[in-house]
């Protein structure tokens, strides 16, 4: 399962948010051995996304994301994707 979490960030808040996102990535890495990626939309510098690929423990991962993501102080939208070849 792959997770994509996106949100809007005011330009002045991005650098402070980055350190919080790095802390979140550290917890994800130590708990699930998954390295998150932080991305910014090319045509909208206020839209950011966290990417987590290859999640096996969905319930545990989602609990951590909800708990730790709330500390970021931004409203986040979570999307889940699976390979297109996976039967519906």
Tens-digit pLDDT profile for residues 33-84: 999 999 999 999 999 999 999 999 999 999 999 999 999 999 999 999 998 9
Q: Cα dist. 21→25, 83, 87 in Å?
A: 6, 26, 33
Q: CB neighbours (10 Å) of residue 71?
A: 9
Between CA 14 and CA 57 the distance in angstroms is 30
pLDDT for the residue numbered 77? 97
Digit-coded pLDDT (tens) for 1-32: 999 999 999 988 998 999 999 999 999 999 99
């Amino acid at each position: 399962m792959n997770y994509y979490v996106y949100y809007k960030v005011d330009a002045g808040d991005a650098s402070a948010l980055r350190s919080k996102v790095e802390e979140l990535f550290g917890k994800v890495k130590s708990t699930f051995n998954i390295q998150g990626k932080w991305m910014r939309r090319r045509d909208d510098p206020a839209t950011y996304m966290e990417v987590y690929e290859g999640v096996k423990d969905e319930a545990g991962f989602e609990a951590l994301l909800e708990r730790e993501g709330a500390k970021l102080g931004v409203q986040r939208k979570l999307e889940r994707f699976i390979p297109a070849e996976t039967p519906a």
